Chains A and B, each alone.
Chain A
Amino acid sequence: MFKIVKREQFSPVTYLWKLEAPDIAKAARPGHFVIVRHGDGGERVPLTIADFDRAAGTITLVIQAVGKTTTALMGLQEGEYLDDLAGPLGHARHFDQVKKVVCVGGGLGVAPTYPQLRQYKQNGAYTISIVGFRSKDLMFWIDRFQTESDELIIATDDGSTGVKGLVTGPLQEVLDRNPDIDEVLAIGPAIMMKACVAVTKPRNIKTIVSLNPIMVDGTGMCGGCRVTVGGKMAFACVDGPEFDGLQVDFDELLARAKRFDPAERESMRLLHERCHLPRQSS
C-alpha cells in the first residue's frame, strides 16, 4: 500500500500524485518508470517517474486520464492508498557529455522530460526546451521548465499562448538557428515523437525518444512491449524505454498501440455506466 501524500489536478484530465515510496525514490534515476495497479481486477499501468525526492522518500507521477484505469485512478484522493506500485523499472538514462541539447515534451510527455532536462542542466549543458500543449489551460510545470532551461519555447495547438501549432515548427526553427545541437530528447505521444524524428533525421542529429508501448509485467517476462529498433526486436520495459529515435519503427508502434482498442472502449463504457448510475450508498 502506497500513500498518496499530495495530489494536484492540472486540468480536467491531468493530475499529479506524490506517493510515499522511500525505497523507489532511493533507487530512481531519470528515465525510470513504475507500474501501478489498484483494486480487485485492476490493470497494470506503466507511468514515468516524473520526479523523485530521496530526502522526503517520495516519487511524483503525472497522469493523463485516457481510458478506464487512468480515469478510475483519478478518483483516488490525497491521503488514500494505492494498492500496488512496482519500480523503478527500465534502464535509467545514460547521459553523454553534451554541450547543447533540445528537450521536447509534448502534452503529458512534458512531465517525464523534466527530470532529464534537470540532469542535462546539472551536467552543464546549454538547454533549450520546447513544450507543447493543446491549449493554454492544459499547461503545467512551466515554472519548473523555466528554472532548468536556458531557452524555453511554448507551443499550443490552438495558439492560446506561445507559438501556434505543433512542437515540430519550433524544433525546426531551433535546429536552423543552432547548428551545434548535440542531442535532441523527445517525449510525448508516439505520433509526436515520429514527427520530431522526421525533423532531426535528415540532419542526422542524435535523437532520444521514450517509447510507450502497452505493457503487462514491465520485467521482460511477457514480450508484449516489443518494439522494432534498427530492424531488431527489443522489449521496451527492459531494453528501454529510451531508444535511438532514428532507428525506431514508429508505424509499428502506432499500430500496436491500437491492439486492445475495442476491449478498452468496452471498459470505458462500463465505467461511465457505473458512474452515471444512481449511487446506492454514500
Chain B
Amino acid sequence: MEASTRPKKTIKTIAKSKTAMPEQDPAVRARNWSEVTLGYTEDQALAEAARCIQCKKPGCIAGCPVAINIPGFIRAIEDRDFHKAYDIVAADNVLPAICGRVCPQETQCEALCIVGNKLDPVGIGRLERFVGDLALRNGWSLAGPARHNGHKAAMIGSGPASITCAVDLARAGVEVTIYEALHTAGGVLKYGIPEFRLPKKLIDRELEALKGLGVRVVTNAVIGRLYTIPQLMQEMGYETAFIGVGAGYPNLMGIPGEGLNGIFSANEYLTRVNLMRAYQHPQTDTPTGMGKKVAVIGAGNTAMDACRVSIRMGAENVYCVYRRTKKESPARAEEVQHAEEEGVKFNWLTTPVRILGDERGWVRAMECIRMELGEPDASGRARPVPVPGSEFLFEVDTIVYAIGTSANPLLAHTTPGLKLNQRGYIDVSPETQMTSIPGVFAGGDIVTGGATVILAMGAGRKAAHAMLQYMGIEATAEPAHHAKG
C-alpha cells in the first residue's frame, strides 16, 4: 500500500488508550509459574499498530537505546507484513521477544512517543514482543553467517551484552566462542528474571539461533580461573575478546545479624528458584530453605521478582521494604502493579537496622526504622533520613536483600593491566568500549553497574563494531531501511 493512499491518522482519529494486554488473573497466576502477560493476538496487534501516527519526526526512536526504526516496523505490522516487521526490528535488536517483555518502555521509547503527549503512548514494547514471538514461533531467523573469514573472537559471559556482540561478529564472518561460568548460558535472563516474566524456552531458542550462526558456547568456563584473558589472547589465538560478565556480586547492608539462617541475597534466592528450579523441589535437588514470612529489602526490578517468586513459592506474607516511597522505586511501574495485585504488601519509607535470631540461628525478626524524605542526593532522588525513635520490630523468618550488586572482582584480579574505575567497574573508551588492554573490550553491567538488558545489548553492539574495525574487517552493510534517530 502506498503511503499516500493511506487515510491520514492524527491524534484525534486514533484510539485513546493502549490496547489492553491480556493477562492471567492475579488470583490464578499467584499460584503458577506460567507467564503473567499473554501477548497480543494478531487483531490486538493490528489495533495497537493503528495508533501510531507515523510521525515525520518521531520521538520514540531517540528513546530507544539501540534506535530501532519503530515507525518502520509498526507500519509493517499494519501492512500485515510481519516478517518484514521482524527484519526491521532485528536489524537493531537481536532479542525482540525478550526486550518486548522486559524493557522499561515507559522511561524509554514510549516516554518520548508523540502520541503519549496527549494520550496513552503507543504500546511499542508490546508490538515488539508480538513480532519477536511470531519470529520464534515461525523460525524466522537472523541473516545467516558470512563465510568464516579466519578471525577469532572470545566472549566472556553469556548475558545479553555478549549475545548481541556475538551475533554481530558472527554475521560478519568472525569465528566466535562464548565462555560462560555457569552450566547454562543466558546470564541474568536465565538465573535472575523468573519464568513467569520471561519464559526460559524463549532464551533457549535465541541461543539455538546463535548456534545456527556458528557461534560456539562453552559452559562451565570461569574465565580468570580456567583460562585467563592473557591466555585467551596469547595462547588460544583470539584476536579480540569481549568482557560481558555482568555485575553479579551481591550487596548486603552490613547490619548486625546478617549471618543468620534465612537471609539471602536476591541473587542466591532467585538463582535457586530460576536456574536450579527449586520450585520443583524435591523433584529437583536444590531447595530454597525459605520460610513463610518473607521481607524483601529494596524496590527495584530484582526486588519485585523476589517478592513475586516468594508468593508463588507459597509464602503466607510477603513484604516489600523500601527506604523511599513508591514514586522513587526504580522498578518498572508494571512490575510494582503486578506485585500489588498478587498480594505483596509494601512498606515504604522503612529500612532495617538490625536482624534478630532465635536460639537455633534462624531469623526471627527485623528491627526497622521509619524514614522521611529529605533533600535530593547525587542521584537526584530525595535522600531518605531516619526518623529518630521510630524503631519497631517486624516479625519475619526470611529476608531477601535486593539492594543492588557490585562488580565481581574475580576477573580483574587475574587480568594484569585491566583498568577499573573508582566503583570497581571496568573502564572503557565510550566510543569503542575498548578497555585499557588493546583488543579487549567490555560492556553491559560490568561497565555501567546494574542497568538494563537493552543497555547491555547496545554496548555489545557498539563493541562489535569497534572489534571488527580492530581486526580490520568491514562491517556488513546495514539494511537499507535502517534509520538511526
A residues adjacent to B (C-beta < 8 A): 23-24, 27, 37, 40-44, 68-69, 83-89, 216-224, 226, 228, 233, 238, 249, 252, 255-256, 258-260, 263-264, 266-267, 270
Contacts and interface: CB of A to CB of B under 8 A. Distances in A.
Interface string B316-332: 00000000000000000
Contact of B227 (A27, A68, A84): A27
B285 interface: yes
Interface stretch (B160-168, B271-279, B426-434): B271-279
B271 A259 contact: no
A231 B156 CA distance: 34
B4 interface: no
Contacts of A23: 226-227
B416 interface: no
B276 A256 contact: no
Contacts of A44: 183, 276, 286
Interface stretch (B52-60, B72-80, B195-203, B255-263): B255-263
Contacts of A84: 183, 219-220
Interface of B: 181-183, 219-222, 225-227, 248-250, 252, 254, 258-262, 264-265, 267-268, 271-272, 276-277, 280-289, 360-362, 408-410
A42 B268 contact: no
A89 B410 CA distance: 10
A130 to B, nearest CB: 30
12 contacts: A43-B286, A86-B226, A88-B226, A216-B271, A219-B408, A223-B264, A226-B252, A238-B408, A258-B361, A263-B282, A263-B289, A267-B282
B183 A221 contact: no
Nearest to A43: B285
A41 B277 contact: yes
A41 B222 contact: no
A255 B360 CA distance: 7
Which 9 residue pairs across A and B have the least CB separation, nearest first?
Answer: A263-B287, A41-B284, A255-B361, A222-B268, A43-B285, A221-B248, A86-B220, A259-B261, A223-B265
Given A23-B226, A87-B225, A219-B408, A226 B287 contact: no
A267 B281 CA distance: 8
A258 to B, nearest CB: 7
B181 A69 contact: no
B230 to A, nearest CB: 13
A219 B183 CA distance: 12
Contacts of B227: 23, 27
A24 B222 CA distance: 10
